[in-house]
């Protein structure tokens, strides 16, 4: 992976040699990339690097100033290529941003939301085509929760019904909500670079190894083809459009390779949490919170606390308030089950003066369960988070110690 990043740095410098034929928006991105490369912030390899990087204040200032510089430039708002490249790039550094102090990361997210709000208000006034609206919205929604992405796609499906794009949106909705992947979705990768890139961001966020392998094959051939064209053009005027497309796909290619490297190292795709006993499932969550940033005084109550749903009690550092964490290893878990579990834990939330409640399911949660959590939070004024198999799977497969301890995966060091 490090060799690929070193190569990308060289390629970026080569692209900048053609700056006379690159429009100012892409120059802005490339300049920003070069500045961050010089800070060694981009594409860091492990958590220890991140801990060191977050202490470098000017990196935070660079990101903040960059967002300020583009926030009010209205002539950028219809340039979906510009935002697409930005969103792919920010997708790369999002993990780094999340290791900043909470106040700083919230500030950066707020600036991104401000830009999106301005663009959204303009989209209503523009006579937009499907591509412009879809790409602009997905550039900003990719950093949001699944329910927000689904809500947007549901609205878009209604808006564009009876069009040729409606079927693709229907398939994307099905893929995100139920993980039902159709090979025909890959045709989106063949038709249009911008649409393909948005789809690939969704694939990176929600896809499995087999699906990413298919995307990798496409990107490897397409990036190679574009780079040959760039070299052949040798600083001719038409090189600018090829650099735009290449930069977009190259960033995605690196991210796909990076994500696939986790599978290659640990050979992990889908973990089955039902192979764990209920007690070990609780113990797994305890160790997840022990390793998780932002939490302290993690207490596993075991069988004694389970009767009232209080499997784990944890203190959130930012608010200095307690949270109750509950583990449910039930194969069937419905809205009524959720309501019953919350009723059991309600007295404990009051007794411990809690800020919130998280419930972790060993299975995938339905949209009705997520909705139930939102309704309970609104009614009882607690923060309520539903975490399902998908999220626990993602956390554990990136933690070699937990893989070895709970699932007998050998830890590879090469």
For residue 54, the model assigns a pLDDT of: 41
Instruction: Check whether 44 has a pLDDT greater than 60.
Output: no
Which pLDDT value is given to residue 52? 44
Final residue belonging to a domain, choices 207, 236, 266: 266
Query: Do residue 393 and residue 256 come from a single domain?
Result: no
Q: Is residue 283 part of a domain?
A: yes
Please check whether residues 289 and 145 belong to one and the same domain.
no
Last residue of a domain, one of 203, 235, 266: 266
Q: Is residue 230 part of a domain?
A: yes
pLDDT for 414 beyond 50: no
Q: What is the mean pLDDT of the chain?
A: 77
Answer yes or no: do 192 and 318 share one domain.
no
Range of the domain at 388: 273-407
Across 282-296, 350-364, 400-414, least confident range:
400-414
- Report if residue 196 sits inside a domain: yes
Q: Is the pLDDT of residue 137 over 80?
A: yes
Most confidently modeled range among 145-154, 210-219, 360-369, 397-406: 360-369
Check residue 235 and give its pLDDT: 75
Residues 261 and 203 in one domain: yes
pTM: 0.59
Written in H, E and C, the secondary structure of the chain is CHHHHHHHHHHHHHHHCCHHHCCHHHHHHHHHHHHHHHHCCCCCCCHHHHHHHCCCHHHHHHHHHHHHHHHCCHHHCCCHHHHHHHHHHHHHHHHHHHCCCHHHHHHHHHHHHHHHHHHHHHHHHCCCCHHHHHHHHHHHHCCCCHHHHHHHHHHHHHHCCCCCCHHHHHHHHHHHHHCCCCHHHHHHHHHCHHHHHHHHHHHHHHCCHHHHHHHHHHHHHHHHHHHHHHHHHCCCCCHHHHHHHHHHHHHHHHHHHHHHHHHHHHCCCCCCHHHCCHHHHHHHHHHHHHHCCCEEEEEECHHHHHCCCCCEEEEECCCCEEEEEEEECCCCCCHHHHHHHHHHHHHHHHHCCEEEEEEEECCCCCHHHHHHHHHHHHHHCCEEEEECHHHHHHHHHCCHHHHHHHHCCCCCCC
Assess whether pLDDT exceeds 80 at residue 32. no
Q: Are residues 180 and 319 in the same domain?
A: no
35 inside domain: yes
Q: Report the pLDDT value the prediction gives residue 312, as an integer from 0 to 100.
A: 92
With cut-offs at 50, 70 and 90, classify the pLDDT of residue 189: low
Tokens for 292?
Answer: 């998780």
Same domain (yes/no): 352, 236: no
**CATH number of residue 344's parent domain:** 3.40.91.50
Residue 261 shares a structural domain with residue 162: yes
Q: How many domains does the chain have?
A: 2
Domain check: are 258 and 190 in the same one?
yes
242 & 306 share domain: no
Average pLDDT over residues 261-267: 63
The C-alpha atoms of residue 199 and residue 185 are separated, in whole angstroms, by: 9
Could you tell me the pLDDT band of residue 59, with boundaries at 50, 70 and 90?
low
In this prediction, residues 106-123 reach a mean pLDDT of: 78
The last residue of a domain, from among 216, 251, 266: 266
What number is the average pLDDT over the span 325-350? 92
Query: What mean pLDDT is predicted for residues 80-87?
Result: 72
Same domain, 199 and 327: no
* Residue 207 pLDDT: 82
- Is the same domain home to 212 and 311? no
In a domain, 214, yes or no: yes
pLDDT, tens only, 351-374: 999 999 999 999 989 889 999 999
**414 inside domain:** no
Same domain? For 54 and 181 the reply is: yes
């Amino acid at each position: 992976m490090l060799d690929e990043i070193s190569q990308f740095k060289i390629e970026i410098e080569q692209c900048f040699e053609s700056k006379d034929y690159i429009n100012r928006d892409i120059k802005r991105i490339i300049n920003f990339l070069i500045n961050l490369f010089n800070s060694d912030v981009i594409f860091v390899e492990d958590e220890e690097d991140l801990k060191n990087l977050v202490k470098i204040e000017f990196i935070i200032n660079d990101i903040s100033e960059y967002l300020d510089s583009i926030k009010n430039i209205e002539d950028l708002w219809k340039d979906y290529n510009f935002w697409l490249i930005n969103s792919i790039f920010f997708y790369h550094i999002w993990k780094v941003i999340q290791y900043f102090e909470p106040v700083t990361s919230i500030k950066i997210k707020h600036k991104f939301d401000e830009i999106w709000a301005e663009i959204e208000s303009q989209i209503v006034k523009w006579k937009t085509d499907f591509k412009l609206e879809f790409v602009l919205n997905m550039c900003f929604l990719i950093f949001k929760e699944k329910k927000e992405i689904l809500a947007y796609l549901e609205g878009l499906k209604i808006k564009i019904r009876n069009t040729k794009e409606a079927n693709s949106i229907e398939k994307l909705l099905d893929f995100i909500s139920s993980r039902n992947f159709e090979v025909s979705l890959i045709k989106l990768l063949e038709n249009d670079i911008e649409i393909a890139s948005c789809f690939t961001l969704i694939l990176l966020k929600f896809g499995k190894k087999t699906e990413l392998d298919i995307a990798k094959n496409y990107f490897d051939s397409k990036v190679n083809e574009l780079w040959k064209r760039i070299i052949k053009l040798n600083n001719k005027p038409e090189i600018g459009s090829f650099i735009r497309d290449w930069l977009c796909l190259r960033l995605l290619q690196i991210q796909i390779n990076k994500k696939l490297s986790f599978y290659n190292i640990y050979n992990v795709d889908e973990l089955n949490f039902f192979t764990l006993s209920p007690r070990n499932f609780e113990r797994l969550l305890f160790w997840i919170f022990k390793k998780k940033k932002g939490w302290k005084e993690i207490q596993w109550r075991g069988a004694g606390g389970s009767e009232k749903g209080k499997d784990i009690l944890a203190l959130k550092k930012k608010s200095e308030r307690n949270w109750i964490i509950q583990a449910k290893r039930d194969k069937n878990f419905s809205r009524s089950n959720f309501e019953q579990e919350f009723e059991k834990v309600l007295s404990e939330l009051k007794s411990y003066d809690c800020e919130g409640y998280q419930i972790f399911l060993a299975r995938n949660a339905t949209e009705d369960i997520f909705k139930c959590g939102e309704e309970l939070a609104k009614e009882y004024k607690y923060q309520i988070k539903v975490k399902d198999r998908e999220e626990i799977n993602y956390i554990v497969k990136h933690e070699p110690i937990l893989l070895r301890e709970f699932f007998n995966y050998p830890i590879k060091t090469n």
